[in-house]
């Protein structure tokens, strides 16, 4: 069983990262704005399915490493931490990810799902992000694979709920983000700070062995 305190720490951390605008949430917004809430919700489902793909890859690639090799663990930790800091710096430097431009092309729900799935599953940044983020909550007392998969599924579920809400209230969300420069600035600052903060936390954490 997972420690309830770890889950309670994971949920707010995941939510802060989930609400940070990225390619998946922007795609969900554009699809719902262009083609309606049903197409937007299926895009959200596609993005979350892509997160499960990355979770599975993380479990297969990390479960043995985190349990058996201190050197490999340290390498993965430092690379992941550096990447999180890099993403945070890039977020401060670039505002393009916070701009929403509706597309004129119409998508069916199936096409929207497939496109969102591919955008997420084939994004190497998302893969590295999962490798960097999920291990922070793994405890040595339990099964590494089970913990990684559980946190990944929980992250994907929270992501779907958030993006589905974006799809339903897309018009209001679009106005709030695109027409108010202050909101854009706040989102950009929070997103960049959270990524850099997690990167530094991961880099300074010491490996606990059982």
Write down the residue that tokens 């069916």 correspond to: 108
Task: Give the count of beta carbons closer than 10 Å to the beta carbon of residue 44.
Answer: 29
Question: What are 25-43's pLDDT values in tens digits?
Answer: 878 877 887 777 888 899 9
Question: What are 153-168's pLDDT values in tens digits?
Answer: 999 999 999 999 988 8
Question: What are 83-127's pLDDT values in tens digits?
Answer: 768 767 876 776 655 555 555 557 889 998 998 898 788 766 677
Q: Which of 124, 129, 131, 113 is CA-nearest to residue 44?
A: 113
> What pTM did the predictor assign?
0.67
Q: Is 4 exposed, middle or buried (0-12, 13-18, 19+ CB in 10 A)?
A: exposed
């Amino acid at each position: 069983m997972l420690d309830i305190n770890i889950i309670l720490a994971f949920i707010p951390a995941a939510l802060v990262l989930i609400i940070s605008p990225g390619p998946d949430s922007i795609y969900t917004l554009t699809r719902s704005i262009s083609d309606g809430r049903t197409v937007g919700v299926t895009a959200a489902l596609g993005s979350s399915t892509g997160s499960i793909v990355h979770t599975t890859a993380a479990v297969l690639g990390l479960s043995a490493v985190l349990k058996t090799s201190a050197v490999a663990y340290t390498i993965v930790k430092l690379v992941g931490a550096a990447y999180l800091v890099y993403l945070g710096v890039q977020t401060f430097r670039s505002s393009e990810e916070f701009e929403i431009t509706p597309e004129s092309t119409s998508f069916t729900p199936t096409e929207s799902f497939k496109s969102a799935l591919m955008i997420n599953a084939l994004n190497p940044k998302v893969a590295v992000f999962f490798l960097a983020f999920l291990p922070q909550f793994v405890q040595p007392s339990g099964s590494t694979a089970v913990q990684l998969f559980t946190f990944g599924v929980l992250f994907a579920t929270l992501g779907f709920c958030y993006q589905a809400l974006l799809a339903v209230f897309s018009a209001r969300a679009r106005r709030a983000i695109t027409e108010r420069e202050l909101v854009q600035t706040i989102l950009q600052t929070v997103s960049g700070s959270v990524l850099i903060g997690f990167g530094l936390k991961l880099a300074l954490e010491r490996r606990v062995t059982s």
